[in-house]
Each structure stands twice: as C-alpha cells, then as structure tokens.
C-alpha cells in the first residue's frame, strides 16, 4: 500500500510541476498557437491532478477500513474474482458538424473559428489529442490520434475555445503577473473543484473531488497560482464508452452536448461521435497457463499445453513451443466450453480434466487431459475458471483477436488545420493516414526548457 501510495504522490508532484510550467509558458506566450497549446496543457494537468487526488483518497479510505477490520466497500469482496486487464485503442475519432446552409455556403465574412481537442479519461489515466482548428469550412472535426489505454470505461470530453484573430500577448509576456485568481483559468466549475481540493489539502486531509470527505494522511502538494490570461477552454460535449461499444469497425456513438448556441465557444455538433474502438484482453494475447500434460487415449507420453485466447495448443515439448514448431493438435476454447474433473482410480493417483466444446453444429467435442499431480489439476482448473470469467467480462472482445495498430510518434505541429469530410471518406474510401499515439501527454518542449 505504501509503495502504491508513494507512486501516486510522485505522479501528483510531477503533474504539479508540469502545471506550473504550463502556467509560466502561458503567461509568456507571444503567439496565438503557443497560447492555445499552453492553455490546453494546463487544463490537461489540472484534470490529471484531480483524478490522482481522487484515487489517493480512495486508497487511504481503504487503508483506514482495513486497519479497523472492515472490508473496503470500494474494492468489493476480497473473494471476488477480477477480470484480466487489456489494451483498448480508440482511433479515427470524428465528430460531424451540422452547419446551417446560410453559414456553410457563405463565402465572405468573418469565420467563427474555434480550437478544439478531446480529453479522454480512463480512471486516473488522462490522454489528450492534438488541437484542431474548426470553422464553417469543415464538415467533421477529425482527430488523427490513436490512443491506447489499459482499462475501461472511457470518458470522452470535447473542449473548445473561440479563436481571436487579433491575438495580443498577455501581461505576463511583458512583466510580472498580477492576477492569480484560480477559478478563472478553467471556468467557474473546474476552478471551484481545484480550489476545494487546495483548501482541503491545507487542512491536512485528502480532498474528495467527487463530493465526499477526505481521509487522513499527509496532504498533497499545494498547487501554485495560475496564469489567468490567454485562451480558456470550455466543455463542449462528452460521452462515456464502455465494453459494450467495442467493435472491430468504425461505429457511431451518441454525444451529449453541454454548450448552447449563444456560447462563444459553441460549434454546431450533429450529436454523435464516430470512432474505431478495439480491445485486446490480455487473456487473448498472453499465455494463461502452460505445462506438461497427457491426452487420452491418443497420447500416453507427455505433451506441452499452452492455454491462450480461444485455443489450448499442444506441442511435443516446451522446446518445440519456444521454437514455434507446428503444434500436435489444438483444442478450441470459448465461453460455452465446459470442464470437469474425474478420478482415474486409486492405482493411478491422478485426475483427468474433461473439456467439452460445442462446435458450430450442436455436437459437443470432448477431450480428456491427464495431469501428473492433484496440485497440477487444481492449477489448471483455476486457470480455466479465470479464463472463462475473463471471457465473460470482455464479451465480444474474446470472439476474435482484434487488431490494434502500433501508433507512430506524435506529430510535431501544434494545430491541425486541414481536415477531410467524413461524408467523402465513406463514399470514396481512402487509405488511412498515419496514426498518432499520446505516449506522454506533456506540455510542449518550451515547458521542459
């Protein structure tokens, strides 16, 4: 517990330093694109700090409950089985726009232009996309990022700020900052949440940013004053994606719109978000269990079995498996597979495991495996039970192994200006562009400097 606690504290310390750097950069920005990027980084850091503080509070509440002899209501029963982790990737993120004819076909006049980006939150993991400039020349807001995260569920938030063409640097670029009012950096709501977190921390408690009371323990570091000048992002729309939304194809999901048309940062959203959401549970990509077994009645000699994904793959030996030789045979495993243990008689002192799997027809195919010791039997049975539980929780993600593209390094540009049309790409499919990953969603290089 102390190791995990210390790791979360170190992450909070890092984000506080990043946040301070972003604030200093924002105060010194002399160009519009720099200010947009710095303000985006500031919001991302604040969101990460809130998520980490919330997790730290839950951890300390669980520690207190354990000390007084109660089981944590957050973690649930200690006897409950937990599903395996996995990698979930969101890519080809598109948000259609619905401009009025009078706006879309207008060839003259000032453009209503906004800088937008998505913030994706999965537990304490916070990811951000590149900035995109959106105006009436776009039919879709397109984010080229491919983001891979380790768990579910995923909250997608779209932030927007109105872009002022005649950008003028803030007073911090010319002299000392004279304002440090916290709530104005992210709007009233987010500012109040962080201010409450700071006040709770100053009192020696861990703030509950979700509405509860803090537990004990050392307070997190106090956050420095923020620069209040520069662009300010506002929540434009959001949605929550769960395991039920995972499909190995491009799908449309409902979007909840938070802004109204009279807001300066407003954009005419169609009310949906399109993306490809793929998942690879670890039980589909890593060995669940492996070891020496026998198969009756065909093989009386030892073979080497590997349980992985939808197959129990059997080799001549472990060396053959390492050398990737052709397997002897493969036993299909799915959510409908049934297993049970049978005694082989007092003379053998061993047990057998029967595996029955229904094929595409209605017939069940049964295989019998023999282990060497009762301990081996228990180990294999536990692995099978966990594997079936993982399949039941990950559902359609375990039918076939979904493909996740390995992302390329993040692009160097600050603002993506050129976008295509979702309509045109559906009518005339084109090859997908290079994908982008957010490996370290940090501030730009100026902050590190």
Contact 250, 214 (CB under 8 A): no
pLDDT recorded at residue 107? 58
* Cα–Cα dist 154/49, whole Å: 18
Mark whether 156 and 220 lie in a shared domain.
Answer: yes
Distance CA 369, CA 351 (A): 9
Structural domains counted in the chain: 2
327, 433: one domain: no
Q: Tell me the CATH number at 371.
A: 2.30.29.30
The pLDDT of residue 105: 58
Please indicate, yes or no, whether residues 197 and 244 belong to a single structural domain of this protein.
yes
pLDDT score recorded for residue 415: 44
Supply the pLDDT for residue 326. Answer: 93
CATH number, domain containing residue 230: 2.60.40.150
- For residues 95 and 181, membership in a common domain is answered with yes
Residue numbers of the chain with a pLDDT score lower than 50: 71-79, 172-191, 197-222, 412-449
Instruction: Based on the fold, state whether residues 346 and 274 are members of the same structural domain.
Output: no
Count of C-beta atoms within a 10 Å radius of residue 282: 16
Largest CA distance in the chain: 93
Q: Contact at 8 Å (CB) between 315 and 325?
A: yes
Element (H, E) at 256: strand 256-257
Q: Report pLDDT for 30.
A: 85
Residues 126 and 154 in one domain: yes
> Is the whole model's pTM more than 0.85, yes or no?
no
275 and 375 belong to one structural domain: no
Domain hosting residue 362, numbered range: 284-398
296 and 267 together in one domain: no
Do residue 276 and residue 289 come from a single domain?
no
Q: Is the dihedral of CA 242, 403, 96, 111 positive or negative?
A: positive
Same domain, yes or no: 262 and 189: yes
Q: Which of 7, 97, 104, 95 is nearest to 56 (CA)?
A: 7
| 232 vs 35: CA distance, rounded Å | 10
Same domain, 278 and 311: no
Same-domain status, 26 and 122? yes
The pair of structure tokens assigned to 31 is 């160009």
- The 10 Å Cβ neighbour count of residue 60 is 20
């Amino acid at each position: 517990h102390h190791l995990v606690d210390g790791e979360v504290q170190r992450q909070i310390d890092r984000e506080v330093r990043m946040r301070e750097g972003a604030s200093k950069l924002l105060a010194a920005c002399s160009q519009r694109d720099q200010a947009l990027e710095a303000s985006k980084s500031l919001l991302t850091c604040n969101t990460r700090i809130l998520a980490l503080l919330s997790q730290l509070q839950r951890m300390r509440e669980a520690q207190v409950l354990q000390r007084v002899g109660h089981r944590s209501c957050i973690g649930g029963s200690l006897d409950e089985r937990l599903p395996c982790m996995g990698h979930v990737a969101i890519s080809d993120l598109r948000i259609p726009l619905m401009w009025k004819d009078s706006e879309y076909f207008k060839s003259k006049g000032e453009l209503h232009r906004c800088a937008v980006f998505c913030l994706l939150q999965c537990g304490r993991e916070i990811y951000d996309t590149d900035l995109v400039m959106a105006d009436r020349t776009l039919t879709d807001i397109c984010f080229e990022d491919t983001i891979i995260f380790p768990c579910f569920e995923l909250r997608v938030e779209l932030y927007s700020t109105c872009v002022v063409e005649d950008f003028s640097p803030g007073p911090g670029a010319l002299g000392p900052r004279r304002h440090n009012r916290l709530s104005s950096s992210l709007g009233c709501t987010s500012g109040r949440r962080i201010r409450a977190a700071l006040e709770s921390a100053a009192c020696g408690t861990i703030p509950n940013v979700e509405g509860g009371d803090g537990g004990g323990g050392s307070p997190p570091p106090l956050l420095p004053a923020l620069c209040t000048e520069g662009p300010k992002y506002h929540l434009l729309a959001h949605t929550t994606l769960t395991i039920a939304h995972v499909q190995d194809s491009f799908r449309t999901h409902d979007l909840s719109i938070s802004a109204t048309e009279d807001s300066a940062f407003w954009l005419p959203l169609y009310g949906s978000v399109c993306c490809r959401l793929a998942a690879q549970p670890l039980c589909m990509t890593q060995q669940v269990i492996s070891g020496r077994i026998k198969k009756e009645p065909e093989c009386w000699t030892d073979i080497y079995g590997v349980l992985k994904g939808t197959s129990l793959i059997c080799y001549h030996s472990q060396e053959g498996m390492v050398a990737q030789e052709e397997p002897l045979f493969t036993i299909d495993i799915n959510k409908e597979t049934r297993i049970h243990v049978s005694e082989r008689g007092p003379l053998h002192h061993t047990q057998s495991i029967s595996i029955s799997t229904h094929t595409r027809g209605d017939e069940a195919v049964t295989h019998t495996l023999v282990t060497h010791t009762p301990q081996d039997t228990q180990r294999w049975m536990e692995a099978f039970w966990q594997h079936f539980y993982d399949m039941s929780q990950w559902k359609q993600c375990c039918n076939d192994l979904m493909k996740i593209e390995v992302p390329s390094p993040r692009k160097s540009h600050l603002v993506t200006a050129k976008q295509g049309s979702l309509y045109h790409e559906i009518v005339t499919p084109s090859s997908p562009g290079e994908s982008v990953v957010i490996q370290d969603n940090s501030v730009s290089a100026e902050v590190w400097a």
